[in-house]
């Protein structure tokens, strides 16, 4: 079968990782009799001069048409006022569920024996909604005065304000996504993570809504909840006790990196942003600018994002073939990048390109 997919190479280490991942995905697809055609488009700071925006309309239009995209990481410059392309993509396409499977592969350097956790993070609300007010501006003062007139708690007038909206609608759909994923992928338990003891309004609503959704799956998928601080300690001590985790946006972002650390680091942590009408697949890590152009970083995270993408478009055979090839190369331990070697400065570590070639050979 033929699929047309939008490809955004990204910046920093993005282009070299994208090249490696694209070749692996194409080879696995071809071996399984699947044809993929790419619509390749750039986004990020490098296209601002040409299009006046880091996320040109034609890139969004391509993803809307193809319904599936894969992207390399894109840098978000700090202190320039330029909004993150990654956050903007999720907002513009309503990609409300961020999916991050954290599975430990044999041969990866880690302190654990068994980790197989799937993270589902709400992607559009919470402190990432982008509703913010800089300190000492007229708008910020107005917001503070309004809040001070409505609340017994008083906010200092020289404060900056970031708003944390969490809705029943937004929570309902992301928790439903987690349970549906659990059903389809033979997972047994969903844990809702929150801080409802302190943020009774926002996290309280997230937990209450999750409990309501969980009732619809009673008898099929188990449900429990944890405070986020307690969960972090337990994940470090006993990660094998967790199956699927569902989070509001901010905790999900932070705990995703914690779980990536449990399974060998950002170099092996894939991800996907999924909505009702489109899905964008990308690694958990960023553009690692200090390694740009060095053919050094690990392509596994983006290749495994490609595995998630192949499953999403129904090409399970190609997905399994690619995942098994990645497993073989990692457990063999020879043609792997520096981060997968026992010593980070092991001179036998190979580059991005060479690891991808080994994966293609192992297909
Ligand atoms: P980062 O993930 O880019 O890098 C942090 C460190 O993790 C690197 O220095 C490196 O040691 C390690 N690392 C990351 N990817 C690796 C790989 N594939 N193989 C081996 N090691 C790897 O995080 P950062 O430095 O905080 O962010 C850099 C830029 O990326 C920022 O502009 C940030 O906004 C952006 N970012 C983009 C995305 C995205 O595109 N979805 C996600 C996160 C961060």
Q: Kindly list the structural domains of the chain, giving each domain's residue range(s) and its CATH number in brackets, ordered by start.
A: 1-100+269-363 (3.40.718.10), 111-122+166-262 (3.40.50), 126-165 (no CATH)
Alpha carbon of 196 to ligand 1 centroid (Å): 30
Do the strands 132-133 and 161-162 form a parallel or antiparallel pair, or are they unpaired? Answer: antiparallel
Direct distance between the N- and C-terminal alpha carbons of the chain, in angstroms, rounded to an integer? 19
Q: Which of 54, 70, 73 to mutate to test the pocket of ligand 1 (most atoms within 8 A of CB)?
A: 73
Q: Nearest to residue 304, comparing CAs of 332, 266, 345?
A: 266
- Atom 23, ligand 1: which residue's CA is nearest? 286
Whole-number pLDDT of residue 343: 86
Query: Global pTM?
Result: 0.93
Both structure tokens of 279? 């899905």
Residue 285 Cα to ligand 1 middle (Å): 4
Which residues contact residue 156 at a Cβ distance below 8 angstroms, ignoring those fewer than 6 apart?
144
| Annotated active-site residue in 195, 203, 251, 335 | 195
Pocket test for ligand 1, best of 288, 295, 296, 337 (most atoms within 8 A of CB): 288
Query: For residue 267, which of 324, 336, 328, 359 has the smallest C-alpha distance?
Result: 336
Contacts of 99 (CB under 8 A, 6+ apart): 118, 119, 120, 181, 271, 272, 273, 274, 308
> 19 an active-site residue?
no
Catalytic residue among 253, 335, 338, 339: 253
Question: Mind listing the pLDDT tens digit of every residue in the chain (363 residues)?
Answer: 789 999 999 999 999 999 999 999 999 999 999 999 999 999 998 898 899 999 999 999 999 999 999 999 999 888 777 778 988 899 899 999 999 999 999 989 888 999 999 999 999 999 988 899 999 999 999 999 999 999 999 999 999 999 999 999 999 999 999 999 999 999 999 999 999 999 999 999 999 999 999 999 999 999 999 999 999 999 999 999 999 999 999 999 999 999 999 999 899 999 999 999 999 999 989 999 999 999 999 999 999 999 999 999 999 999 999 999 999 999 999 999 999 998 889 999 999 999 999 999 999
For a ligand 1 pocket test, name from 86, 266, 284, 336 the mutation site with the most ligand atoms within 8 angstroms of its C-beta: 266
Q: Which of 229, 277, 316, 332 is catalytic?
A: 229
Is residue 203 annotated as part of the catalytic site, yes or no?
no
Annotated catalytic, 113? Answer: no
Q: Is 19 exposed, middle or buried (0-12, 13-18, 19+ CB in 10 A)?
A: middle
DSSP string, 231-283: HHHHHHH-GGG-SEEEE-HHHHHHHHHHHHHHTT-GGG---EEE-SS-EEE--
Atom number of ligand 1 nearest to Cα 297: 19
Burial of 82 (0-12, 13-18, 19+ CB in 10 A): middle
Tell me which residue has its CA closest to atom 26 in ligand 1.
Answer: 286
Residue with CA nearest ligand 1 atom 41? 73
Question: Closest ligand 1 atom, CA of 284?
Answer: 42
Please tell me the predicted confidence (pLDDT) of residue 123: 94
Helix 352-361 and helix 300-312, axial crossing angle in degrees, nearest 10: 40
Please name every residue paired with 223 in a beta bridge, in sequence order, or none if there are none.
190
Q: Which atom of ligand 1 is nearest to the CA of 301?
A: 18
If we measure between CA atoms, which residue out of 59, 37, 63, 61 comes closest to residue 50? Answer: 59
* Residues near ligand 1 (Cβ within 6 A): 73-76, 86, 266-267, 282, 285-290, 297-298, 301, 339
Residue 128: active-site member: yes
pLDDT of residue 45: 86
For 108-146, write each residue's pLDDT tens digit.
Answer: 988 899 999 999 999 999 998 889 999 999 999 999 999
Among protein residues, the one with the nearest Cα to ligand 1's atom 32 is 75
């Amino acid at each position: 079968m033929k699929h047309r997919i939008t490809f955004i190479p990204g910046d920093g280490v993005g282009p070299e990782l994208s090249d490696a991942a694209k070749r692996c995905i194409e080879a696995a697809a071809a071996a399984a009799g699947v044809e993929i055609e790419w619509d390749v488009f750039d986004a990020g700071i490098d296209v601002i001069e040409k299009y006046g925006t880091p996320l040109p309309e034609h890139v969004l239009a391509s993803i809307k048409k193809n319904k599936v995209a894969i992207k390399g990481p894109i840098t978000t410059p700090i202190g320039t006022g330029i909004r993150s392309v990654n956050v903007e993509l999720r907002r513009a396409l309503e990609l409300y569920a961020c999916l991050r499977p954290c599975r430990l592969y044999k041969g990866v350097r880690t302190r654990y024996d068994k980790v197989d956790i799937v993270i589902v993070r709400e992607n559009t609300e919470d402190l990432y909604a982008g509703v913010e007010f800089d300190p000492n501006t007229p708008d910020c003062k107005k917001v503070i005065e309004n809040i001070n007139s409505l609340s017994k708690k008083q906010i200092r007038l020289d404060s900056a304000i970031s708003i944390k909206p969490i809705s029943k609608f937004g929570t309902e759909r992301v928790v439903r996504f987690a349970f549906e994923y659990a059903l389809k992928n033979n997972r047994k338990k969903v844990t809702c993570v929150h801080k409802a003891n302190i943020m009774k309004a926002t996290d309280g609503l997230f937990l209450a809504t999750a409990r309501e959704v969980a009732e619809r799956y009673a008898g099929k998928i188990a449900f429990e909840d944890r405070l986020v601080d307690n969960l972090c300690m337990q994940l470090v001590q006993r990660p094998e006790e967790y199956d699927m985790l569902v989070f509001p946006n901010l905790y999900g972002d932070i705990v995703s990196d914690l779980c990536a650390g449990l399974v060998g680091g950002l170099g092996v942590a894939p991800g996907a942003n999924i909505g009702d009408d489109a899905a964008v697949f990308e690694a958990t890590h960023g553009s690692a600018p200090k390694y740009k152009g060095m053919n050094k970083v690990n392509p596994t995270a983006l290749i495994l994002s490609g595995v998630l993408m192949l499953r999403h478009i129904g090409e399970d055979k190609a997905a399994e073939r690619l995942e098994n090839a990645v497993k073989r190369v990692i457990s063999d331990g020879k043609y792997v990048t520096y981060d997968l070697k026992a010593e980070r400065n092991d001179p036998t570590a190979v580059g991005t390109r060479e690891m991808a070639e080994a994966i293609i050979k192992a297909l």
